[in-house]
Structure 1
């Protein structure tokens, strides 16, 4: 089942060079013969000249002219053939044509050639040659483009006239030889010379015969090579994994290889004789191909790379459509041309690409969902932590026994550890979600270093370490960079150095590098346990901690250095370490900076050591806008403990109404609230002319994303503090805003994750029994009713998010983790505009019953007889 068309197409190409060589050798042979004949004629002319006393010396050497005419015609023929085969040299073509034209004119008009013209057969042959010359002279004298375009058509006529030229030459030689013989019959020595010449001609012919024999042997050898090549080509085609078919100019399939049979399901005999477009492709694809995608085939040009391979839809014998790669080209042959096409089924590749696309889309959707979840989780996790840490701060205002103070210290330490852990995890999540961007601002480098050292000083003292910082080289005062992220990195490096050093020293060195001093290098050098160089890269990986003699004692998530490397890259810098076990470590950080001329342009270092600005000399009248009762309780207790008066509003709309009714000294505004959120309430307050339209508004939020904090300021809020509330930060912020300053507080730390029901016991211990009982009863009543309303579908879809949000924070405070998680999912779905499943709403009832039963059991174990009675009422 050989692909004969392909073989036939390849063999002319393979034989082409051999034909050219044969023609060249033949031309040389003819030329040699013509030269020999010319030599004989010349010798005859010499004999005649000796006999003729007049020594006739005509300018027309008859034999030479005839031979030269044929030689020049052959040269013209070669010039035209080169042009027809794509190598036109118009100058050479015209020159050869002019020479032949001159030779033929000589034969026609010269008296010396009268005997030749008198020959009955020669007049017609000269007339045919003259007709060709006259027809062609216009093209020769015309433009190059017209001449080149006509060359393929002229070539057959030139080849056809070659026999005439040869016949004219041979006849002329014959005629003039006869004349010479008659005139020189008596000259024996002339015949001797002629015989010698003929001997030379014979030798030449023998030589030429030998050359032709060698050429024949070479041709035979090359033919065998070509046949072997054709066999290999046939084998390649038949064993190809890609389908190959050959079609004639009308598109009829001539050959169909085994791979094509496997792809389309047709046998070779079934496919042959059918139109390829109708058999192998849908109608719309066939029309598209005929409409111009394969135009290069008819233009006889090499296709561009983008034209060579076409992706299209093919159809097999069962009507199944599948994606395919299609490539086709034209193969010219002596008897016409064929089209050779290669087709490949790319169904699997397309499926893989589709799978990758879907995976990418899912990954992007997951990143978006993670970013959305981050914002929601930031708020929800800070709400219960606000109650936890805020209440701990309030307990310091009460007289505690030594035992109670120790327990409270442990609780605060655990809370801070939990906060640090969640901060690390959420910092990583925020970076991966693409929500973190560098914020360049002017700051004082010495103040930044002072803040880092002051923050790490307590831990250094606890580990009996000395902690200092110093400049190396000339100092720099004020620069432009992201001071908050820079401080975060330095605190991580210094904190790690202090943590893994006992009874040693930790030094922070700062040096300005570069010719323009536009690069700051921070070096944290410690005398601690050191790091094996083989682990130098591992410590910058997420969740990677190295085992050491006391590494397990200090703990840690293993995220700090991974986050530090990400932050360094975000700032355009780099971070690294040099260390040896037992020899201490040197961590270095390099970041680019811009110098600021005026120190007055520097902002306070965000997150630096807190410097209390003093207390107000009067109590403040404050408006607290917060929808969560527990958060209102904690904030009110903190503020009333300082002697301030607090008015509470349970949502943004109530806050707007209070602000329009009287003048407050400041407004503490929550962000996520039902009916009206904090930013909208702030805009309404600022846009009105009420008594509190111009008083300071402080955003109290669990949202940690920078773009959200910027939105709060755009809404008219003067400052922003984060949950959980820090009493000192809250009071300092009040001092600043009431004194006339505007504070843009740092982005709050990332929220912690809710704990379990054990937090109920901690809440009971922190609050007075009466306050705890009242909060618990209100929580149970409010949550039971809200869960029932949600589960029964009584809450409108547009109110789902606000309703779920209102009770989710309280659930986390009292340890109702499963219920809080379910409510958070419902809130997220509702905020995203997606339909919440009725099954998810109905599941809230089971979660509430289970959590409520655990609550009653816990109260039965912890309460007195009075408590049991209250639990029974619950």
Structure 2
């Protein structure tokens, strides 16, 4: 039908052209008829002039006048000849009347030399007529007079006869010229008509050939379309506007089970619709057919369930459109998609099984890693506690080996945890200014013991101009370099490992790190495998270096996460070179990793400080730290109270907890800034157990000027206060690196700091209250559902208390739960259930530590002094 549309257009164009040609020919025919009539009229004019020949009439008038003149002369001699005079006068008179009444006479009225003689002759006739018609005596008496007048009249007759003949000759010439022109025009028109008829004949011949070619093309196209339709694997069904089937191809016969004769003329809806299909559903799908219009683009393709002759229902894909012919038709392509649906269902089930397996693997790794990490933390923490006792050299050596082995095992567990985090997409970069020199110095210092154990030399240096200050994620970079360096050291014996750093030419940000060793090397065919997970190349029991094979896989993931690339070059027995290229733009400033030099921060005098904190223990600790430094402290237990106090008086600085009831710290900060009260412009320092990079930006937008991570460090608190009051940019909080400082059950430094801040007799009640509250809180959290609405707030509050008392492992587990909820990921139920054993070990270690030292303050303080003395010695 799509082929018929251009043919119909062509036929309409041909008809229009034929009609226009016919109209032109009709005009030409009318013109020829009009010219023929003109010629006929001229011919008639000539014919009329011959019947009334002016020349003959003039000649006869002259002759009759001579006869009349002769009769006059005879009558003078013989009076009996008067009758002849009357007869000749009458004949001459009639000739003049004939001349006067002739059609050509009117054309002589304006002819020069004709009018005056003719008028005198008419006067003569008028004067003579009474004599001719009068008595014979009067006529006889007037004969001499008449004879004398005829001499003059004869001259006039000859004069106007000559003038008339001359004018007639000119008129005849003009008529001949006019007829000649008419004949020329007629010949031209006839020639044009002939050419037009010839062109029309040629056009009709071409149209005939074109029509014949089109007919052949239509026949050929019809054959092709019929072949396509019949060989199509899809059913093709054509219906009229009423829904009756007009065409039914072979595929439709095969799919539906009806023959063409059985289907044609029957309503398609009743023939193919399943009995359970509602009319409403069919009307909604075929609304365009009900409204007798062309379907819109979104209505042309859809899926429906159809029924075959044998009652089998099957899913079908419809593709339908309307053909705007003289009788509108709907053409539908129908495909049985049962195999596709079955394959899709199988793929969906396979995908679900694969995802379930992947989730099960990730959950298993996470759970097992966490379960392994918990006793490892307890083991390592116990080793640290054993070091507090006076051990001999032999037990101390055994303890060192145990701790190294435990640390290696913890590193393996951390590798598995990092892998699960990367695969879950939960790792995010934390870019900040840092010193490349400090990072590499620390990295070498960390890896030196491992290098010495294998008899290796380890160093690093710049290639080219150094650029120590950059912007990036120092923690991830350090972990990648540690993995590469650790691998190089493990596969090198009594050799050297060098770390080269170079800013690549032509780039302002790209820096390349190269870890070069003189070890056993890697075969070329193995280079593509080394960055795969769990790939160790040598999996035999006799291999020299251990490990899970995860280090390089995690290094590759971290490098890609930071926008860089990683690679290796090596030959067996010739050592290896591992390189990473990272975009590290120059940093405008660097946040110091240690407390700033006193000269950079001016000393501060006593300050009026507002502490907004809902946790009683945290309030007490921060208050004691501030008061020991000579500051005046005002307490607010929630954000709303903090806003009220900041609106009533001026404070030099405000310490604002983030997570609080009634009104959180962010809302309270905005309210203080907008309120315009006495403290509207005071520095506001955020107190938070854990702040993600995106949250810090939210805090800044709310109006906070600095951040302190709980548990609050006294030196960090002093530095942040001094910087905030002096208007110096605050030091950026540095993330804790669990690789460099393994997490233990207790953090001695924080515990010492806590006890040092308390007056005599205040530690025991606070410790008892902490244990009681945490027992109750941990028991409740372990039984809480992962999707409980208050889970994050309770974990945050409990983590703050644990941090204050230095219960590091417990705080870390709680912060992990809070971080999962902040990233809109529910924590694993096992993580919640694991809180109980972690707290049980932490509680036991805390109580044992206090009881073993003989009191919360003196014992721990003396133990700390002993350890510091041992470290200095």
TM-score (norm 1): 0.51
Deviation at 1:495, TM superposition (A): 1.3
- Aligned to 1:16, the other structure's residue is in SS state helix
Pick the aligned partner of 2:210 from 211, 218, 233.
218
CA separation in 1, counterparts of 2:14 and 2:821? 92
Q: Which residue of 2 aligns with 1:295?
A: 288
CA separation in 2, counterparts of 1:196 and 1:509? 104
Contact 2:504 2:510 in 1 (8 A): yes
CA separation in 1, counterparts of 2:36 and 2:185? 9
Deviations 1:403-452 (A, max 9, x none): x9998887766655544444333432232133433345665543332221
Deviations 1:518-560 (A, max 9, x none): 6654332334455566654432222334469999422433321
- Aligned to 1:606, the other structure's residue is in SS state coil
Contact 2:429 2:473 in 1 (8 A): yes
Q: Which residue of 2 aligns with 1:423?
A: 414
Tell me whether 1:230 sits opposite 2:222 in the alignment: yes
Q: Which residue of 2 aligns with 1:496?
A: 487
Pick the aligned partner of 2:341 from 315, 336, 350.
350
Q: Quick one: structure 1 residues 739 and 230, their matched pair in 2 at CA, closer, same or farther if it must change by over 3 Å?
A: farther
CA separation in 1, counterparts of 2:194 and 2:791? 120
Q: Which residue of 1 aligns with 2:273?
A: 281
Deviation at 1:254, TM superposition (A): 1.9
Q: Which residue of 2 aligns with 1:643?
A: none
- Aligned to 1:543, the other structure's residue is in SS state coil
Tell me whether 1:329 sits opposite 2:321 in the alignment: yes
- Aligned to 2:544, the other structure's residue is in SS state helix
Q: Quick one: structure 1 residues 590 and 666, their matched pair in 2 at CA, closer, same or farther if it must change by over 3 Å?
A: farther
Deviation at 1:504, TM superposition (A): 3.7
Deviation at 1:30, TM superposition (A): 1.5
Q: Which residue of 1 aligns with 2:12?
A: 20
Tell me whether 1:249 sits opposite 2:241 in the alignment: yes
Q: Please, which moves more after superposition, 491-500 or 312-321?
A: 312-321
Deviation at 1:197, TM superposition (A): 6.3
Tell me whether 1:569 sits opposite 2:569 in the alignment: no
Deviation at 1:233, TM superposition (A): 0.4
CA separation in 1, counterparts of 2:556 and 2:736? 21
Contact 1:702 1:722 in 2 (8 A): no
Q: How many correspondences in the alignment?
A: 553
Q: Which residue of 2 aligns with 1:792?
A: none
CA separation in 1, counterparts of 2:543 and 2:532? 18
Deviations 1:820-854 (A, max 9, x none): xxxxxxxxxxxxxxxxxxxxxxxxxxxxxxxxxxx
Can you give the 5+ residue segments of structure 1 that lack an aligned partner in the other structure? 1-8, 55-182, 624-657, 741-874
Q: Which residue of 1 aligns with 2:125?
A: none
Q: Quick one: structure 1 residues 383 and 547, their matched pair in 2 at CA, closer, same or farther if it must change by over 3 Å?
A: closer
- Aligned to 2:328, the other structure's residue is in SS state strand
Contact 1:686 1:694 in 2 (8 A): no
RMSD between superposed Cα atoms in Å: 5.8
Q: Which residue of 2 aligns with 1:698?
A: 807
CA separation in 2, counterparts of 1:681 and 1:223? 82
Q: Quick one: structure 1 residues 383 and 218, their matched pair in 2 at CA, closer, same or farther if it must change by over 3 Å?
A: closer
Structural mapping, 1:257-656, within 5 Å: 257-282=249-274, 286-291=279-284, 294-295=287-288, 303-334=295-326, 336-366=327-357, 369-370=360-361, 372-385=363-376, 415=406, 417-440=408-431, 444-472=435-463, 481-510=472-501, 521-531=512-522, 535-546=526-537, 552-579=543-570, 582=574, 584-592=576-584, 595-599=588-592, 600=596, 601=731, 603=734, 606-607=737-738
Deviation at 1:574, TM superposition (A): 3.3
Deviation at 1:492, TM superposition (A): 0.5
- Aligned to 1:230, the other structure's residue is in SS state helix
Deviation at 1:204, TM superposition (A): 5.2
Q: Quick one: structure 1 residues 362 and 668, their matched pair in 2 at CA, closer, same or farther if it must change by over 3 Å?
A: farther
Contact 1:512 1:520 in 2 (8 A): yes
CA separation in 2, counterparts of 1:462 and 1:266? 86
Q: Which residue of 1 aligns with 2:232?
A: 240
Q: Which has the larger radius of gyration?
A: 2
CA separation in 1, counterparts of 2:435 and 2:775? 32
Structural mapping, 1:659-674, within 5 Å: none
Q: Which residue of 2 aligns with 1:164?
A: none
Q: Quick one: structure 1 residues 300 and 398, their matched pair in 2 at CA, closer, same or farther if it must change by over 3 Å?
A: same
Deviation at 1:563, TM superposition (A): 0.6
Q: Quick one: structure 1 residues 209 and 533, their matched pair in 2 at CA, closer, same or farther if it must change by over 3 Å?
A: same
Q: Quick one: structure 1 residues 429 and 503, their matched pair in 2 at CA, closer, same or farther if it must change by over 3 Å?
A: same
Deviations 1:371-412 (A, max 9, x none): 55455324422344457666777898798898x999888776
Q: Quick one: structure 1 residues 616 and 15, their matched pair in 2 at CA, closer, same or farther if it must change by over 3 Å?
A: closer
Q: Quick one: structure 1 residues 10 and 388, their matched pair in 2 at CA, closer, same or farther if it must change by over 3 Å?
A: closer
Deviations 1:40-91 (A, max 9, x none): 235325525756889xxxxxxxxxxxxxxxxxxxxxxxxxxxxxxxxxxxxx
Q: Quick one: structure 1 residues 187 and 450, their matched pair in 2 at CA, closer, same or farther if it must change by over 3 Å?
A: closer
Contact 2:436 2:469 in 1 (8 A): yes
Deviation at 1:564, TM superposition (A): 0.6
CA separation in 2, counterparts of 1:700 and 1:607? 11
Contact 2:455 2:493 in 1 (8 A): yes
Q: Quick one: structure 1 residues 245 and 469, their matched pair in 2 at CA, closer, same or farther if it must change by over 3 Å?
A: same
Structural mapping, 1:68-217, within 5 Å: 201=193, 205=197, 208-217=200-209
Contact 2:457 2:495 in 1 (8 A): yes
Deviation at 1:268, TM superposition (A): 2.5
Q: Quick one: structure 1 residues 512 and 664, their matched pair in 2 at CA, closer, same or farther if it must change by over 3 Å?
A: farther
Can you give the 5+ residue segments of structure 2 that lack an aligned partner in the other structure? 47-174, 597-730, 756-762, 785-789, 823-831, 850-855, 863-873
CA separation in 1, counterparts of 2:738 and 2:795? 30
Q: Quick one: structure 1 residues 320 and 595, their matched pair in 2 at CA, closer, same or farther if it must change by over 3 Å?
A: farther
Q: Quick one: structure 1 residues 547 and 703, their matched pair in 2 at CA, closer, same or farther if it must change by over 3 Å?
A: same
Deviation at 1:277, TM superposition (A): 1.9
CA separation in 1, counterparts of 2:236 and 2:358? 46
CA separation in 2, counterparts of 1:667 and 1:524? 52
CA separation in 2, counterparts of 1:531 and 1:431? 27
Q: Quick one: structure 1 residues 45 and 320, their matched pair in 2 at CA, closer, same or farther if it must change by over 3 Å?
A: same
Q: Quick one: structure 1 residues 228 and 659, their matched pair in 2 at CA, closer, same or farther if it must change by over 3 Å?
A: farther
CA separation in 2, counterparts of 1:22 and 1:611? 94
**Higher RCO (Cα < 8 Å, 6 or more apart):** 1
Q: Quick one: structure 1 residues 325 and 611, their matched pair in 2 at CA, closer, same or farther if it must change by over 3 Å?
A: closer
Q: Please, which moves more after superposition, 272-281 or 237-246?
A: 272-281
Deviation at 1:489, TM superposition (A): 0.9
Contact 1:699 1:721 in 2 (8 A): no
- Aligned to 2:500, the other structure's residue is in SS state strand
Contact 1:452 1:608 in 2 (8 A): no
- Aligned to 1:557, the other structure's residue is in SS state coil
- Aligned to 2:321, the other structure's residue is in SS state strand
